[in-house]
Structure 1
Amino acid sequence: MRYPGGSSYYATPSMSIPPGVKWLLVSNVAIFLLYFIATIPQPGYGWLFSPFSLTPVKAVEGLQVWQVFTYLFLHDPNGFSHILFNMLALYMFGKTLEETWGTERFLRYYFGCGIGAGLCVILAGYLTGDPYTSTIGASGAIFGLLLAFGVLFPDSTVLMSFLFPIKAKYMVMIVGAITFLSIPKSGSGVSHVAHLGGMIVGYLLLKTSFGQRQLNRSRYTRESLLSRVTGAWREYRLRRARKKFQVYMSKQNRKDGPRVH
């Protein structure tokens, strides 16, 4: 599935890439290239990366708990579409969110969604009796970013599948519905549980006090220009009123003569 991308709104217009998104882009691409090279010729040394993919039985029974984090940096080495669309979505939506939230809070949200999606994959693996299938990719965290963008900037215009203009809030609804309806399908090679898990965890994070602070901050970013203009206008009117009052008092003082104590 192609990720929705592109936006007509940026919280802080800038051509530069913020440090959090830049670090994620560089690290994901670098690890993908190493993974890709290691699998030439097939299977090559791809097995070196298997301890870092997310396999429920290994993460739980083998106590390889780091997998809920490391799987976010691995992408399918047999093609470029997996990492390409993840990184495009990370840049298009993550850039705006990081400029709105700040690097620390953006990374906390990103990894919160990714790790939460990983926990959903583990839970689903045991519930369906298939805890041996491995999952890789940053899609869980990316879908969390899509959810956050749709919540914070619902009326901004994005390009669905990089082609069709649509409001962000409708894009999130459509993507969420498609993901949910795709979960029963097996054999597709796509972890729809991770996608939906990332969106659910992202929504829960936005509903916490952490998320409310981010919502308030995003509203401030969008309204700051108007607030500054109206504030400057009120200050100007106050100065004028104060000046008129001083002129009036000085006239009254001249009429009544000097004050004595």
Structure 2
Amino acid sequence: MNWLNKLERKFGRYAVPNLIVYLIGAYSVGFVLNMVAPNILGFLNFQPYYILHGQIWRLITWILMPTDSNIIFLLIMMMFYYQLGTALERAWGTFRFNAYIIGGILLTEVGSLLAYGLIYLFMGGSFAHTASTMMGQMISTSYINMSIFLAFATLYPDMQVLLYFIIPIKMKWMAAVYVVIMVFSVWDTYHAIYAYTQSVSTALWYAGIMLLCIVMSLLNYLIFFLSTRNLSRYTPHEVHRRQQFKAQMREPRPGSGIAKHKCAVCGRTELDDPNLQFRFCSKCEGNYEYCQDHLFTHQHIRRV
């Protein structure tokens, strides 16, 4: 990522440490405002119509919009994303984490303004004003949180967490569920608008607004991770070559006396008995393989 390295050398000293703490603090302020003076949020949310008419503070204050109205779920969300955010900052460094979060915020704003402009151009001013009000209710940092979650799941796909403090699940599967929920939210918005207006075109416009805002807010995730990948590794020729190489490496040469499997307890291999079956143990820390006689009777290995 040469472009990001250049930016870090030039602007790295301006990076804000522990940016996730300030983001969570904004959630807290927004939650309190929603409890004590909910009408104030109507002057702080992201509405392109009012931004283009001089209320430019909305470009910043929409970050205060609460992501949840239930204090229990809000506290759980804050603790969860504090852990994810600090882990990402340790892995990437302060500047790159800043660039990721701020990039997501800016792209969300660009996408929302773009959606408003398209609606104004094709549907007229009155419809655009209504759409602007809808954006104010819909746009919050929940999509920024989603980009943080997806980034963490990409870096640590096999890390296991407890869903609702009960169900063990790997981050990669939680990310898949997250994406499915996001798609269904767009579909649900379409049906809700259609049920209210009985207009397919109106429902499609509103669903399109939501989809565009989601895609733009997650564009920082795509830019960040695609920029770190050597995409030539995924060409059909390269994939086929690697598959052939792995297949050849998996098969020992005939008559070489090299075993493919070996029991970590008794040391037997398939060369000793071709009928033996071998399995890896998911509870042992490390790649330990056991024969059928010791798979369920061995003592699990733990790293000190």
TM bucket (normalised to shorter chain) is 0.5 to 0.7
Q: Give the direction of change, closer, same or farther, for the CA distance of 1:181–1:77 in structure 2 (3 Å limit).
A: closer
Structure 2's unaligned 5+ residue stretches are 1-16, 120-126, 194-208, 231-304
Q: Is residue 154–residue 168 contact of structure 1 (8 Å, CA) maintained in 2? A: yes
How many angstroms apart in 1 are the aligned matches of 2:109 and 2:162?
28
The yes-or-no answer on 1:21 pairing with 2:13 is no
Structure 1's unaligned 5+ residue stretches are 1-17, 40-45, 213-261
How many angstroms apart in 2 are the aligned matches of 1:181 and 1:78?
21
Q: Aligned ranges for residues 83-122 of structure 1 at < 5 Å?
A: 83-122=74-113
Q: Is residue 100–residue 224 contact of structure 2 (8 Å, CA) maintained in 1? A: yes
Q: Give the direction of change, closer, same or farther, for the CA distance of 1:198–1:162 in structure 2 (3 Å limit).
A: farther
The yes-or-no answer on 1:204 pairing with 2:195 is no
What does the per-residue CA deviation read over 1:82-128, in whole Å, with 9 as the maximum and x for residues that have no partner? 74454233213112111212223212211222332343344445656
| Aligned alpha-carbon RMSD (Å) | 3.4
Q: Give the direction of change, closer, same or farther, for the CA distance of 1:106–1:76 in structure 2 (3 Å limit).
A: closer
Query: Which residue of structure 2 lines up, in the alignment, with residue 75 of structure 1?
Result: 66
Matching residue's letter, 2:108: A
If asked which structure has higher relative contact order (CA below 8 Å, sep 6+), I would say: 1
What does the per-residue CA deviation read over 1:170-219, in whole Å, with 9 as the maximum and x for residues that have no partner? 2212211220122032259xx9645554334322233236x99xxxxxxx
Report the more deviating stretch, 118-127 or 86-95.
118-127
Query: Which residue of structure 2 lines up, in the alignment, with residue 55 of structure 1?
Result: 47
How many angstroms apart in 2 are the aligned matches of 1:96 and 1:161?
20
Q: TM-score, normalised by structure 2?
A: 0.50
The yes-or-no answer on 1:165 pairing with 2:150 is no
Q: Give the direction of change, closer, same or farther, for the CA distance of 1:174–1:78 in structure 2 (3 Å limit).
A: closer
Aligned length: 185
Q: Aligned ranges for residues 28-47 of structure 1 at < 5 Å?
A: 28-39=27-38, 46-47=39-40
Q: Is residue 148–residue 202 contact of structure 1 (8 Å, CA) maintained in 2? A: yes
Query: Which residue of structure 1 lines up, in the alignment, with residue 290 of structure 2?
Result: none
Q: Is residue 140–residue 196 contact of structure 1 (8 Å, CA) maintained in 2? A: no
Query: Which residue of structure 1 lines up, in the alignment, with residue 271 of structure 2?
Result: none
Tell me, what secondary structure is at the counterpart of 2:218? helix
How many angstroms apart in 1 are the aligned matches of 2:118 and 2:167?
37
How many angstroms apart in 2 are the aligned matches of 1:76 and 1:181?
18
Tell me, what secondary structure is at the counterpart of 1:165? strand
Q: TM-score, normalised by structure 1?
A: 0.57
Q: Give the direction of change, closer, same or farther, for the CA distance of 1:169–1:57 in structure 2 (3 Å limit).
A: same
Q: Is residue 67–residue 142 contact of structure 2 (8 Å, CA) maintained in 1? A: no
Query: Which residue of structure 1 lines up, in the alignment, with residue 249 of structure 2?
Result: none
Q: Give the direction of change, closer, same or farther, for the CA distance of 1:106–1:132 in structure 2 (3 Å limit).
A: same
Tell me, what secondary structure is at the counterpart of 2:175? helix
Matching residue's letter, 2:66: H
Query: Which residue of structure 2 lines up, in the alignment, with residue 131 of structure 1?
Result: 132
Give 1:176's match in structure 2, choosing from 175, 179, 184.
Answer: 179
How many angstroms apart in 1 are the aligned matches of 2:68 and 2:150?
27
Matching residue's letter, 2:180: A
Tell me, what secondary structure is at the counterpart of 2:133? coil
